[in-house]
Amino acid sequence: MNEAFRILLENKSSQLIAIHQGKYYKRKDGLALGPGCFIKGLEYAASKEAKVIGKPNKYFFESAVPTGISPEECVMIGDDANDDITGAMKNNIRGIQVKTGKYLPDVKAELPPTALVENFAEAVQWIKDNL
């Protein structure tokens, strides 16, 4: 972190690019801090705004929609209320939240998911039954 901080300070033209700003992710031993807190720390310390290229960035979702298909015809299946579900829904993509991975029942999406299901298999079944 200190090396990244110094590079950002010493090279005024340097950019801080983040794959995403996830708060946490799931590991075998439980939840762990994601890159979000480190990105926010670097932004604050170096007075630079990160360019986020992954979820929930609009560019990420736009690039996932195939040519000739509208966003409304697409579905995002995810376990992250903010990055997966709210990100998709803000880009007119249906969001199906699964109760697996890093899902936490007390963490609600800013926009309610299209569906909340137990697992990936149920998400696929929901798509088959509803679309």
Q: What is the pLDDT of residues 3-12, one digit of tens each?
A: 999 999 999 8
How many other CB atoms are there within 10 angstroms of residue 15's CB atom?
Answer: 10
pLDDT for res 110: 92
pLDDT for res 48: 95
Domains of the chain, by residue range, sit at 1-53, 64-131
End-to-end CA distance of the chain: 46
- Do the domains 1-53 and 64-131 sit in the same CATH topology, yes or no? yes
Question: Could you read off the pLDDT of 101-122 as tens digits, one per residue?
Answer: 999 999 999 999 999 999 999 9
Centroid of chain to Cα 77? 11
Averaged pLDDT in 10-residue chunks for the chain of 131 residues: 94 91 91 94 96 90 95 97 95 97 93 97 97 90
pLDDT for res 12: 87
- Could you name the CATH architecture of 1-53? 3-Layer(aba) Sandwich (3.40)
What single-letter amino acid sits at 46? A
- Could you name the CATH architecture of 64-131? 3-Layer(aba) Sandwich (3.40)
Using DSSP, state whether 78 is helix, strand or coil.
strand
